[in-house]
Amino acid sequence: MSEFKTYEYIWLDGFQPEPSMRSKIKATDDDEPPEWSFDGSSTQQAEGGSSDCLLLPVQTYDNPTAPDHLVMCQVNAADHSVHPSNTRAAAEALVSDEWWFGFEQEYFFTNKDGSPLGWEEGEPRPQGDYYCGVGADNVSGREISEVHLQACLDAGITLTGTNAEVALGQWEYQCFGKGIKAADDLWVSRYLLYKIAEEYGVGVNIHPKPKTGDWNGSGMHANFSNEEMRTNGSEELFNSICDKLGKVHDEGIAAYGSDNDMRLTGLHETQKITEFSYGISDRGASIRIPVYTVEHDWNGYLEDRRPASNADPYKILAHIVGTLTK
């Protein structure tokens, strides 16, 4: 029997405005995944005349499918310097495990023609019955969502839940983590979602507004806290945090995903992209102060509702922590 182990390397390419995920498999007798390389000229990360880029493993996961392990990597240039497309390095320099994050990843399952799952006969009846719905008329894609949930748990990624969302074929899962691993886990959870959906012949769309009209868009609300917020909070502390983020609202929007103006319209549980507000239990605000936080004597967390579903979580971490630790 072969003593080789198989590692599925995952990295982010250089496409703009958001990167895509790439992967390839290495078989080796190494006990840990070694550094590897790839052709950056095929991923918008190098020119053909000098195309080698390096893959540096940063997190290894048990693979619930195959091969043996999933390996999240960051990209360096051939001279081992940080590659310009590597957004992880800047976030890692700022974020300690004191910072906890919970991402609410929304997305649509899609047919091969790009239409949302369940929309094969055209636009369905108006939204209202689909959120946390049950029954074949109200839900499309449940089996894939539940397989994905279990796969992430088996991989050691802390998904805390999943549910059908407001539009037919739209889903959400919640991914919790500490420090930089929170963003690593979110990227790997996305990878598993795409890969599992492949097996069903189904696509995944994380654009923030794939269907125009009176349909909810897709976001990736970022819940966050540090030690002081969790254990020594006050109304003044939480208001000051919101005020700090409000002062750099435009910078936040720039870090929170493309085409977000299509989603942040002031409708469908959003604040306008040009405005900033915060409030207790206010899902129409830029930042929601959860009732949980208030009821626990202002010890808890905040929910930044601005990030789009296609946002890079490394950029989210860097913006929030970078702003609040200046």
H-type alpha helices, the chain: 88-94, 142-155, 180-199, 227-231, 235-247, 249-255, 291-295, 313-324
The 10s digit of each residue's pLDDT in 136-179 is 999 999 999 999 999 999 999 999 999 999 999 999 999 999 99
Q: Are residues 249 and 310 in the same domain?
A: yes
> What is the average pLDDT value for the chain, to the nearest integer?
96
* CATH number for position 58: 3.10.20.70
For residue 150, what are its two tokens?
């279990």
φ/ψ bin of 152: left (φ > 0), alpha (ψ from -120 to 50), beta (otherwise): alpha
* CATH number for position 280: 3.30.590.10
Q: Are residues 113 and 64 in the same domain?
A: no
pLDDT of 48 higher than 90: no
State the Cα–Cα distance between residues 17 and 258, nearest whole angstrom: 6
The 10s digit of each residue's pLDDT in 111-120 is 999 999 999 9
Q: Are residues 75 and 108 in the same domain?
A: no
Q: In the structure, what pLDDT confidence band is assigned to residue 64 with cuts at 50, 70 and 90?
A: confident
Residue 323's pLDDT is 98
The 10s digit of each residue's pLDDT in 213-224 is 999 999 999 999
The 10s digit of each residue's pLDDT in 199-253 is 999 999 999 999 999 999 999 999 999 999 999 999 999 999 999 999 999 999 9
Residues whose CB falls within 8 Å of the CB of residue 73, separated by 6 or more in sequence, listed in order: 9, 10, 11, 36, 55, 56, 57, 58
Residue 253 belongs to domain spanning? 93-324
141, 202 Cβ separation under 8 angstroms: yes
For residue 151, what are its two tokens?
């796969």
Q: Are residues 209 and 141 in the same domain?
A: yes
Q: In the structure, what pLDDT confidence band is assigned to residue 304 with cuts at 50, 70 and 90?
A: very high
State the Cα–Cα distance between residues 2 and 4, nearest whole angstrom: 5
Q: Are residues 197 and 310 in the same domain?
A: yes
* Number of separate domains in the chain: 2
Q: Are residues 140 and 46 in the same domain?
A: no
Last-in-domain residue among 86, 101, 131: 86
Q: Is 290 helix (H, G, I), strand (E, B) or coil?
A: coil
